[in-house]
């Protein structure tokens, strides 16, 4: 039996705060028009991958930006929206008092907290927030309860995606901190390996996407 089940992990489409470079965490802004196009392109890119698996279970973060993405994917794949289990454990890392700020604003307005994060990027939790270590533990807890012989399709957030990538590949802390994947990239994770499911430029252009997308980084 596999140590970990196979996952197909998808990040939500671009949001208004993604464009502005603001940390969202548990707060939320809706998808942009470009974000809707991204979600449609991801759905088309993954359609054959989804139909090629016989045993699938569908999951989504309950945050609205993830559910908006999930609704688009469900329509494209002809999967009833109700088949996606909304799991609070899949919500984005909580950034506490930092939510809504850009990295530059945190550095300027909360310099002591910013320096603490720089000094201990894995153990530090901002006020009312969550550390990277705590996020990783949360993802490990979720994985421990999954059926091993099922492929799990997960619509979630960049922080959760990176934690899951690190768990599956046993990546070092340094490698994980350097992760930088485009917003429209999904990942097939098997125990010990990852495959990035990029979207060909032609599909992005066909849907009118403004590139492969970006991510907000501290």
What are the structure tokens assigned to 65, written together?
């930006």
Could you please report the per-residue DSSP string of 124-180?
A: ---TT---HHHHHHHHHHHHHTS-TTSEEEEEE-HHHHHHHHHHHHT--HHHHHT--
CA distance 158 to 155: 10
44 close to 189: Cβ distance less than 8 angstroms: no
Of 3, 11, 31, which Cα lies nearest the Cα of 179? 11
Please say if 92 is a catalytic residue: yes
What are the structure tokens assigned to 118, written together?
């720089």
- CA 168 from chain centre, in angstroms, equals 15
> What three-state secondary structure class fits 9?
strand
String of b and e for 93-109 (b: at least 16 CB within 10 Å)? bbbbebbebeeeebbee
Q: How far is CA 146 from CA 20, 194, 216, in A?
A: 36, 18, 29
CA distance 155 to 90: 8
Please say if 128 is a catalytic residue: no
Instruction: Give me the catalytic one of 92, 99, 130, 181.
Output: 92
| Active-site residue set | 12, 92
């Amino acid at each position: 039996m596999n140590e970990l089940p196979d996952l197909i992990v998808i990040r939500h489409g671009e949001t208004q705060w993604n464009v502005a470079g603001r940390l969202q965490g548990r707060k939320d802004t809706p998808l942009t028009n470009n974000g809707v196009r991204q979600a449609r392109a991801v759905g088309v890119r993954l359609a054959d991958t989804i139909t090629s698996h016989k045993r699938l279970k569908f999951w989504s973060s309950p945050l609205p930006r993830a559910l908006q993405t999930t609704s688009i994917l469900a329509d494209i794949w002809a999967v009833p929206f109700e088949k996606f289990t909304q799991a609070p454990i899949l919500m984005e890392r909580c950034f506490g008092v930092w939510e809504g700020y850009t990295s530059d604003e945190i550095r300027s307005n909360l310099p002591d907290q910013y320096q603490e994060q720089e000094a201990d990027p894995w153990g530090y939790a901002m006020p009312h927030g969550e550390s990277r270590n705590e996020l990783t533990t949360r993802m490990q807890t979720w994985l421990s309860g999954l059926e091993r012989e099922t492929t799990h399709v997960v619509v979630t957030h960049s922080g959760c995606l990176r934690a899951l990538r690190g768990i599956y590949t046993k990546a070092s802390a340094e490698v994980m901190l350097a992760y930088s994947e485009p917003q429209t990239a999904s990942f097939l994770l098997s125990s010990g390996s990852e495959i990035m499911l990029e979207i060909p430029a032609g599909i992005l252009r066909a849907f009118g996407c403004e590139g492969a997308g970006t991510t907000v980084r501290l």
